[in-house]
Structure 1
Amino acid sequence: MQASEIKLQQIIEGAKQYVVPLFQRAYSWKKSEWQALWNDLVELCAMDNPRPHFMGSIVTMPTTSVPEGVSKYLLIDGQQRLTTVFILLSALRDRAKQSVEELAAEIHNTILVNPYNKDLDYYKLQPTQIDREVFYRIINSQLQSDGSGISECYSFFENKIRQSGLEFQKIKKVLCSNFSLVSVVLSTDDDPYLVFESLNAKGRPLSQADLIRNYFFMKIHTDSQESVYIQYWQPMQELLGENLTEFIRHYLTKSGVDVKQSEIYFEIKERINKSDALTYLKDLHVFAEYYVRLLNPEREKKDKVRKYFNRLNRLEVATVYPFILNCYDDWMQTRITEDEFISVLQIIENFILRRFVCNIQTRGLNRIFALLYSQVSKDTSLASDNFVGRFKLALQSRDYPKDVEFRARLMDVKLYGGNRSEKAKLILESIEESFKHKEQVSFDGLSIEHVMPQTLNEWWKEHLGENCAVTHELLRHCLGNLTLTAYNSELSNDKFPSKCIHFQNSHLELNKYFYNRERWQREDIEARAAYLAERALQIWNYFGDELAQSSQPSILTGTIPKRLHLFGQEHSVKSWRDVLEITLNLLADLEPERFQDIMQEFPRFVGWDEKDFRHTRKLHNGAFIEVNLSAKDIDAFCRKAIETAELSVEEWQIETLNSP
């Protein structure tokens, strides 16, 4: 067996053919894998000097054919990524034919086919029998869409190349010259089926952690390998299992470099080459123990630290782990105290939760927290003489929401559904704890209850009044309408007076709010949201410069919008109806699949049948929107639609005539 790093171009150029064995599964990659590959390609194309991009491993074995033709290799592992690369290059060739014929011919003749060979030897890749026909049609520029994964893959990349505006030559160069693999070439004595079986014992190819382990032990003397493996590597592997590769990425990132998933192997190899491999492995082993406590807080001995590890895990912010690893080590080495470490965890929770409520995208957090430790540790320009103080000062300038924005969004943000529900439960539990009862109620077994139910029956429709649908769609998942209970199934969509009987028997302070209340309408929900928001402001209090808190909440009533800034575009508008129409048109264009979710979630606001609405405008995709709405409702609906499309509300800004 021979293993070596190799550029993609070396894999696919020259007269050769890769044959997928019969025991391999058919092509199975989907949009998520195609999108990840495309994102990596676009990112590298944007760089002046792109670094190597690690695609994974490929395992082949030389084989013979009768009669002899081109050099043939059994493609034992890596067929999904290699097939995808050939499809992407076919789409690039077909787009290039229209304007850069020489490049199209170069791609076809040097990469996709063996032009001087005939019959099956003509093709560089022979997929499994079930995929061959459609794959060959793509290679021959004769695609007929048949609904197969291969034809869908071609359509995906053809659309991406057409819409991207990237230079065809740049795409080809980056893909062939900067995408790299570890190529494992087996001996003809090896049993390819057994090799494939061992590689895919759990349905997975070689991981980057596997490759890193092998590289480490190439650098350690053979006499010591077994003892070093047992003492350092094996415990990490047993502790972290499938999380080992991601731990190594976070370990590398803690030094101040944002390491991408595809760069782990190259990055650690470079660092090992600059230091003693055994010393490096020992340090990795120490931090693995810190990391496993982050993932499994029950392993942490200190109660308060364990509590905040649990809370951060519920916020699902692994991007902060590199920073926390550094701080944990500082605590272990007595460079900071336990109280200071807990303060750091509280500040991170505050920062993350405020950004979540205000729907600030998390995509920039990787880089923020990769660089932050070095800045906080060394930057003398931060006017504080202690680590925690400098940490607060550093974070406050990184899209940290002020009280005005945090309070406003707490009033109307969607807090229930998908991965939001666990964060909503954390918020509600924290508010309950803030009452500081000496006999705390256990939160085990409690779940989130919608006071105004998720599905309205006739009683609730009559109770909510004429605009019941608007109230329901805008406020059912907001903070003011949510509480905690162990009687979720009993309460269901019962009448409000019946629910109040259950709430009166509750031991939760949250539910004492409902004592002696006779109605639950829009103004009641909004009043409770304001009440709970004030408590939340005390729990996650603003830690930035108080001078930055001077801004006042915006009042929409009576304002006239004049300009809408949305996802990098600027539009002149004359009314709130224009704001609604332009926003929904852009969402339908950017995220057509998510737009269906918006229609399903908010049928009172948007749908296909004009008769369902009072006053409408028609969108470019044929859907109708209700425009007989107040400025406040349009603002709230647009925000919720953007959230449902999983885009960032921070990229949606409105200038009004009343703006200062």
Structure 2
Amino acid sequence: MQAKETLFADLVQGRAQQFQVPLYQRTYSWTEKHLKQLWSDILEQAQLLESEEEKASTHFLGSVVLAPSPQNEATFPRWLVVDGQQRLTTLSLALAAIRDHVADTAPDEAERINEEYLINKRKSGNDHLRLLPTQADRPQFTAHIRGPLTDQTAGSGVATAYAFFRKKLVEADDPAAPQDVFRIEQAITSRLTLVAVTAERGDNVHRIFESLNNTGLKLSQADLLRNYLFMRLTTRGEHVYETYWLPLQGSLSNDELEQLMWLQLVLDGDDRVRRQDLYAAQQKHFEERRTSEAEIEGYIRELHRRSVHFRRLLHPEEEPDLTVRAALRRLDAWQAAVTYPALMLLLDRRERGELDSSEVARAVAYIESFLVRRMICRVPTNNLNRIFQAAPGQLPLDVPVTEGLHRLLSSENRFWPDDAELRDKIRKAPFYQYGRPQQRKLVLQRLEESYGHPEPVDFTAAQLTVEHVMPQSPGDEWLRALSEETADDETAEELHALFQHTLGNLTLTAVNSELSNHPFERKQDLLRGSHLEMNRRIAATERWGVREILARADELANRAIDLWPAPLRGVGRAERSRDWQLAHQVLAALPHGTWTSYGDVAAFLGSGAQAVGNHLANTPGVAYAYRVLTSEGRVSDGFRWAAPQDAGSDDVRARLAADGVRFTSSGAADPAQRLTADDLAALLAGTDDETDGEDNAQDGTVEAPGEETRAERFFRQLTADDSPETVDAVRALFVHWEELGGWIGHGAGRVTTSAFLMLGEAGGPGRGIWPMTLYPGTGRGGTAEVVFQYLAAREPFTERSLRAELLTRLNALDGVDIPEGKLELRPNIRLSLLEKDRNREVLAQTLTWFRDRWEDRSAS
């Protein structure tokens, strides 16, 4: 191999030659972000030329790796572009834009640019192009180099890049600050340096390709495997590419294609391969079998066939059978990509004639039930990948596929809850705290549909949200009603914590925040007019308390049992100990300086406080069991160590103090350090679902003609609950945030809306960050939620020291004392504290500090 520094002009000028982008290379993918950076570099070099500082440093653009093409000729050199096609394509398009920009005013110069850099004048067909892209990009690129510009693909990267440069050249002609377009041409051709690495004919180009991938120029597993496949197709590459690969690549994104390749490995029996090991596993498979070119073609043909099945999972509307389509839509809404191996198997068996559509629909119903019942019963999801990845290879051979899948999912350690467990969890478990929001909504939607209303709701058009009938923030009237149902040593607040999040207390509604936390009589009037049958049934009851919640839970349980089939009996049931395992997990996760109560743990589990106490007293080895106290923050009179302690280590208060728990003057644990049932749920939930700000935060524009904006809704709700001084302070906070370069995103909630203090771009996950979310109080005063838990997964605040500094700065506000233990959670600050001038100043300084830390990270 030879390497040398060169310029674009030196690389492509001179005699007729061609640079071919191999079939295995990814398509052109530079975005406006890349183009803007390149344009800035080009203008900088053009300005240096204009000021005659030609000795100034040129701009290093990167490397280009070339290898002799199999079609190489002595009189017409052809080179494979192993690496650098994005740079060469972009520079060629920039020069084509310059050529077209001057075509009318300087046609001779336009022709010169064309002949020196873009075409081989005396060659025809594909040989006419000096750069020959992959087949996917070729029509667009050819149209821009040779014309005419017709039938452009919408969203084409090539067309987007060409249009970008045409626009920038028009801007460069601004009379107020004119820039010589030929200086720009000269900067591109003679001021952008490249390192050209040229391989000899005997060099293994594929190994070069792999080496580049291992040294920072990251390519996907699909890119590597595509390269490998077409390097092996020495005689039929063009035919296979046009017949199978190009349609395949057009129907799936690169990530989806990689997923399909992985699924094919799984379906072919390799049930333990990880997606990140796809390329190595498939390469090993081919080389161990000494796979021929015909077999490689067969593999790609099979990928093409199965891509039709895969698209039906990604786009259920493409499934022709109505029943199967509806079932696939529900799994798509559930975001059940983990089930793809089993679903692909079912669609493949149907195509082969081993199943009909009714059997496929029944099998998908088993899969849906498996997921839904586990979610309602709070079974951890961490083994779902393994279960479904192994399914194709573990299906029993002595029964039809549908029955085999039912048996497989019912077997021991699959933890498919039976009817009794499902009924029990619907009565007791805090449904609202488990699973993803769209999953909870889907369960309620399916239950509503089970009523068979003659005029069913269009759930895709209706803007429905999950509503607590007994509110999350109950007023005095609700608590007085609950106190009538309390047992000995039980408070109304504890009873509320036990039942507020259970399925029996939840419904769907499109009614706005007027529902909120109003008394039940007011909610009855609103629910009575609902089009949903479940809401009309709630409205028909005289009161709403624990008895009514449990009665509705039993009714919903009956419907759930009919909707979602049960596992087979006698296959081998799982133990019921996992509920306590969940308790052990959450207690082990208690941060330093926190405690919780028996009632909080009970509400988190859907159990009883006494049962929690008995279990902890009789189960040795439970981490931090001594940090479970009474609701008043005291050691229970019945507390005992489950196992003997060393002398001097059995003092509970001493152990609590050593763990950072503070005590008040009355001897009780500091209530600010207590973790509620909601806090415990958040501890185990992690940050997977913390995308509300990115996915839902919008800038407060009108949702529909005549509707109030999200911003108007937020301030209407805030004004109804907080003083004018607090509302003014929040408005001033928003103004300051926007002056810092941030923007205010508003959540989609109608019952309770929200406002996010956003930094970064709107419009997609991973683009923004926010330090806090503001909520109106719905009767108890507005709050600002500090999202430490979310920040722990976002740079630069993955560093705990930065989150700790944010906490310290917030604690400088008068009236704020967030314990360090809540750095793992999302504690609240009362918005009314912002009425103080000093607090507003401190918060403004804190937010400026936050912005600066984020920008430091972005700049680096």
TM-score of the superposition, structure 1-length normalised? 0.55
Q: SS in structure 1 opposite 2:531?
A: coil
Structure 2 distance, partners of 1:240, 1:341, is 24
C-alpha displacement of 1:565: 6.8
Q: CA 1:645/1:591 → structure 2, altered by over 3 Å: closer, same or farther?
A: farther
Describe how 1:29-68 pairs up with structure 2 within 5 A.
none
2:306 matched residue in structure 1: 287
Q: Does 1:524 align with 2:548?
A: yes
1:233 matched residue in structure 2: 245
Q: Which among 181, 188, 196 is matched to residue 189 of structure 1?
A: 196
Q: Which among 446, 455, 470 is matched to residue 473 of structure 2?
A: 455
Q: SS in structure 2 opposite 1:588?
A: coil
Q: Which among 333, 348, 368 is matched to residue 387 of structure 2?
A: 368
Q: CA 1:369/1:337 → structure 2, altered by over 3 Å: closer, same or farther?
A: same
Q: Does the 8 Å CA contact 2:472/2:517 hold for their aligned counterparts? A: yes
Q: Deviations over 1:237-290 (max 9, x none)?
A: 332213222222222112232221221111111233333111101101111221
What percent identity do the matched residue pairs reach? Answer: 31
Structure 2 distance, partners of 1:412, 1:624, is 33
C-alpha displacement of 1:217: 0.6
Q: Does the 8 Å CA contact 1:253/1:322 hold for their aligned counterparts? A: yes
Q: SS in structure 1 opposite 2:264?
A: helix
C-alpha displacement of 1:623: 4.5
Q: CA 1:270/1:480 → structure 2, altered by over 3 Å: closer, same or farther?
A: same
Counterpart amino acid of 1:245?
E
C-alpha displacement of 1:371: 2.9
Q: SS in structure 2 opposite 1:510?
A: helix
Structure 1 distance, partners of 2:317, 2:593, is 40
Describe how 1:262-411 pairs up with structure 2 within 5 A.
262-273=276-287, 274=289, 275=291, 276-376=295-395, 378=397, 380=398, 385-397=399-411, 398-411=414-427
Q: Deviations over 1:368-392 (max 9, x none)?
A: 22332333252x3xxxx43222222
The ranges of structure 1 where at least 4 consecutive aligned residues each deviate by more than 6 angstroms after the TM superposition are: 59-62, 546-551, 589-595, 605-612, 637-640
Q: Does 1:587 align with 2:589?
A: yes
Q: Does the 8 Å CA contact 2:593/2:662 hold for their aligned counterparts? A: no
1:512 matched residue in structure 2: 536
Describe how 1:403-422 pairs up with structure 2 within 5 A.
403-416=419-432, 419-422=435-438
1:215 matched residue in structure 2: 228
Q: SS in structure 1 opposite 2:447?
A: helix
Q: SS in structure 2 opposite 1:484?
A: strand
Q: SS in structure 2 opposite 1:483?
A: strand
Structure 2 distance, partners of 1:251, 1:448, is 39
Q: Deviations over 1:496-522 (max 9, x none)?
A: 111111111122221122234232223
Structure 2 distance, partners of 1:352, 1:212, is 33
1:18 matched residue in structure 2: none
Q: Which among 476, 490, 495 is matched to residue 519 of structure 2?
A: 495
Structure 2 distance, partners of 1:336, 1:285, is 21
Q: CA 1:607/1:452 → structure 2, altered by over 3 Å: closer, same or farther?
A: farther
2:510 matched residue in structure 1: 486
Q: Does the 8 Å CA contact 1:319/1:365 hold for their aligned counterparts? A: yes
Q: SS in structure 2 opposite 1:189?
A: strand
Counterpart amino acid of 1:645?
L
Q: Does the 8 Å CA contact 2:416/2:567 hold for their aligned counterparts? A: no
Q: Which among 438, 455, 478 is matched to residue 439 of structure 1?
A: 455
Q: CA 1:468/1:593 → structure 2, altered by over 3 Å: closer, same or farther?
A: closer
Q: CA 1:622/1:482 → structure 2, altered by over 3 Å: closer, same or farther?
A: same
Counterpart amino acid of 1:231?
T
C-alpha displacement of 1:346: 0.5
Q: Does the 8 Å CA contact 2:376/2:425 hold for their aligned counterparts? A: yes
Structure 1 distance, partners of 2:681, 2:506, is 22
Q: Does the 8 Å CA contact 1:376/1:390 hold for their aligned counterparts? A: yes
Q: SS in structure 1 opposite 2:514?
A: helix
Structure 2 distance, partners of 1:450, 1:204, is 51
Structure scoring higher RCO (CA < 8 A, sep ≥ 6) equals 1
C-alpha displacement of 1:615: 3.8
C-alpha displacement of 1:430: 1.4
Counterpart amino acid of 1:293?
R
Describe how 1:155-174 pairs up with structure 2 within 5 A.
none
Structure 2 distance, partners of 1:253, 1:594, is 45
1:621 matched residue in structure 2: 659
Structure 1 distance, partners of 2:405, 2:678, is 31
Q: SS in structure 1 opposite 2:348?
A: helix
Describe how 1:19-38 pairs up with structure 2 within 5 A.
none
Gaps of 5+ in 2: 3-33, 35-61, 66-83, 85-193, 199-207, 610-624, 637-652, 664-675, 687-860
C-alpha displacement of 1:328: 0.3
Q: SS in structure 2 opposite 1:514?
A: helix
Structure 1 distance, partners of 2:349, 2:631, is 61
C-alpha displacement of 1:330: 0.9
Structure 1 distance, partners of 2:595, 2:482, is 32
2:784 matched residue in structure 1: none
Structure 2 distance, partners of 1:233, 1:533, is 49
Counterpart amino acid of 2:450?
S
Q: Deviations over 1:450-509 (max 9, x none)?
A: 112233334433443383332333322220111111214332222211111111112222
C-alpha displacement of 1:591: 13
Q: Does 1:544 align with 2:568?
A: yes
Counterpart amino acid of 2:589?
L
Gaps of 5+ in 1: 3-22, 24-58, 63-75, 77-186, 555-562, 568-579, 626-636, 648-660
Q: SS in structure 2 opposite 1:490?
A: coil
- Aligned pair count reads 419
Q: Does the 8 Å CA contact 1:607/1:624 hold for their aligned counterparts? A: no
Structure 1 distance, partners of 2:231, 2:356, is 39
Q: CA 1:204/1:406 → structure 2, altered by over 3 Å: closer, same or farther?
A: farther
Q: Does 1:473 align with 2:492?
A: no
Q: CA 1:370/1:404 → structure 2, altered by over 3 Å: closer, same or farther?
A: same
Q: Superposition RMSD on alpha carbons, in Å?
A: 4.5
Larger mean CA deviation between 396-405 and 457-466 belongs to 457-466
2:274 matched residue in structure 1: 260
C-alpha displacement of 1:337: 0.9
Counterpart amino acid of 1:453?
P
Describe how 1:110-129 pairs up with structure 2 within 5 A.
none
Which has the greater radius of gyration? 2
2:446 matched residue in structure 1: 430
Q: Deviations over 1:581-607 (max 9, x none)?
A: x77642327999999xx99x98xx999
Q: Deviations over 1:40-67 (max 9, x none)?
A: xxxxxxxxxxxxxxxxxxx9999xxxxx
Q: SS in structure 2 opposite 1:401?
A: coil
Q: CA 1:516/1:365 → structure 2, altered by over 3 Å: closer, same or farther?
A: closer
Counterpart amino acid of 1:499?
K
Q: CA 1:419/1:354 → structure 2, altered by over 3 Å: closer, same or farther?
A: closer
Q: Does the 8 Å CA contact 1:331/1:338 hold for their aligned counterparts? A: yes
Structure 2 distance, partners of 1:268, 1:429, is 42
C-alpha displacement of 1:422: 1.4
Structure 2 distance, partners of 1:406, 1:323, is 24
Q: Deviations over 1:58-110 (max 9, x none)?
A: x9999xxxxxxxxxxxxx9xxxxxxxxxxxxxxxxxxxxxxxxxxxxxxxxxx
